[in-house]
């Protein structure tokens, strides 16, 4: 009997020890860990008419045709809850070819005719020192603000509110442009109208389709990976539009960060003049291993993450109040009473769901998971970070 009791105590101690160790483990993303279902579809989000006119040009913007997308979306990489959605239509729109730069944002800040209560410069202090890696952030901060290409780097330290205000300012500028308005009226009539906004999650999926998936599927050249995202981001075939690399520098880990020793962790200047082609450079280019001819958008993935216009509301569902049925549909959980204690730490109140917005595209400071088209994060609209920027889109409508 004494032997059995001793054996029982040993097993009880072992179980408690294992439970304690599991409890002590911290998730890299505790705020998202097994807590939410994420849905891509926009609910009541207004879909534009399927307009497309190649003759209609807006400097800096590129047409994305109307298309349908299939996606399985999740948030934190340790989330168990993914919801596939198929054949979701996305109307035609125009998207900025690159993230808004410091020089472009400066024009918005300087415009004294466009007054607003939220108008203020970007938060340059967002590149603050990390408590555990002070040396790293010090070097990043020096590199970002002191580099010759600073004006062409993406603006950082901008909240969702400021990014939306930039879009409102840009719309005003376009309305004051006679050539733009003439093209708009000629294309779709006197009553045609437009809006400038941040892209929705569905529009970001369309950008990914145009930039990564379709070019990969069309390419006949050899690939290092069968997955288009792997080929786009970490293939040894150099991709000038991604500066995130798993096997070396260009992420924020394991890097030689001095400017004289490494490439920038931020945008490579897209307007940098290229040397004139010579017979030698043409021969060198001809002998290079061909890779996918990627789409026209610069740094869609892995440079700075980007704000979207999609709020957590209608996209993010906590796993206490909701569950998945056998058809992978999100339904109200009738077998769980969602008490305040259970919902603690989750986004669930109407105010929280309306004031947190999706961030997409991953950054140089993110794990590779967040570069995937299926991964989204949700941040409060007043949050400003050193690896977070934005790019506007234009949606067109006709009566």
Sorted by where each begins, the domain ranges of the chain are 29-269+296-397
pTM beyond cutoff 0.85: no
Burial 241-276 (b: 16+ CB within 10 A, else e): bbbbbeeebbbbeebebeeeeeebbbbbbeeeeeee
The CA distance from 383 to 50, in Å, is 34
Which segments of the chain have a pLDDT < 50? 5, 8, 10-33, 44-45, 245-291
Q: For residue range 148-191, list pLDDT tens digits in order.
A: 777 888 898 999 999 999 999 999 999 999 999 999 998 888 99
Given this model, what pLDDT does residue 210 score?
Answer: 94
Given this model, what pLDDT does residue 161 score?
Answer: 93
The CA distance from 336 to 354, in Å, is 24
Q: For residue range 36-51, list pLDDT tens digits in order.
A: 888 888 754 455 566 7
Given this model, what pLDDT does residue 391 score?
Answer: 96
Cα-based distances in Å from 311 to 78, 87, 191: 22, 22, 30
Return the HEC string of 36-66. EEECCCCCCCCCCCCCCCCCCCCCCEEEECC
Residues 289/335, Cβ–Cβ less than 8 Å: no
Other CB atoms within a 10 A radius of the CB of residue 2 amount to 6
User: Which 3 state secondary structure label does DSSP give 348?
Assistant: coil
Q: Using the Cα atoms of residue 145, residue 146, residue 151 and residue 153 in order, give the sign of their dihedral.
A: negative
Given this model, what pLDDT does residue 79 score?
Answer: 62
The CA distance from 68 to 151, in Å, is 36
Q: Would you identify the CATH topology of the domain 29-269+296-397? A: 3.90.1580
The CA distance from 281 to 276, in Å, is 9
């Amino acid at each position: 009997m004494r032997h059995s009791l001793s054996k029982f105590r040993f097993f009880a101690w072992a179980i408690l020890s294992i439970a304690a160790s599991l409890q002590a483990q911290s998730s890299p993303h505790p705020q998202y860990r097994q807590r939410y279902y994420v849905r891509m579809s926009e609910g009541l989000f207004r879909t534009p008419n399927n307009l497309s006119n190649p003759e209609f040009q807006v400097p800096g913007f590129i047409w994305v045709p109307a298309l349908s997308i299939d996606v399985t979306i999740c948030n934190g990489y340790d989330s168990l809850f993914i919801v596939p959605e198929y054949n979701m239509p996305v109307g035609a729109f125009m998207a900025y070819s690159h993230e808004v730069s410091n020089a472009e944002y400066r024009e918005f800040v300087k415009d004294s005719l466009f007054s607003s209560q939220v108008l203020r410069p970007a938060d340059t202090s967002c590149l603050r020192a990390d408590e555990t890696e002070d040396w790293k952030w010090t070097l990043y901060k020096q590199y970002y603000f002191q580099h010759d290409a600073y004006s062409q780097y993406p603006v950082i330290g901008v909240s969702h509110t400021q990014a939306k205000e930039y879009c409102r300012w840009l719309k005003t500028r376009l309305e004051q442009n006679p050539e733009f308005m003439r093209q708009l009226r000629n294309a779709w009539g006197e009553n045609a109208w437009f809006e400038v906004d941040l892209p929705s999650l569905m529009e970001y999926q369309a950008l990914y389709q145009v930039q990564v998936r379709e070019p990969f599927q069309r390419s006949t050249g050899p690939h290092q990976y069968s997955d288009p995202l792997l080929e786009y981001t970490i293939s040894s075939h150099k991709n000038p539009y991604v500066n995130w690399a798993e096997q070396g520098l260009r992420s924020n880990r394991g890097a030689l960060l001095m400017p004289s020793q490494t490439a920038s962790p931020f945008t490579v200047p897209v307007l940098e003049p290229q040397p004139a082609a010579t017979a030698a450079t043409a021969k060198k280019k001809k002998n290079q291993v061909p890779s996918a001819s990627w789409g026209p958008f610069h740094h869609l993935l892995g440079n700075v993450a980007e704000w979207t216009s999609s709020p957590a509301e209608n996209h993010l569902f906590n796993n206490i109040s909701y569950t998945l049925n056998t058809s992978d549909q999100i339904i109200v959980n009738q077998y769980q009473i969602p008490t305040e204690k259970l919902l603690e730490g989750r986004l669930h109140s109407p105010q929280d769901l309306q004031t947190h917005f999706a961030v997409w595209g991953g950054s140089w400071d993110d794990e590779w998971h967040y570069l995937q088209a299926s991964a989204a994060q949700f941040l409060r609209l007043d949050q400003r970070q050193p690896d977070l920027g934005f790019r506007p889109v234009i949606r067109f409508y006709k009566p």
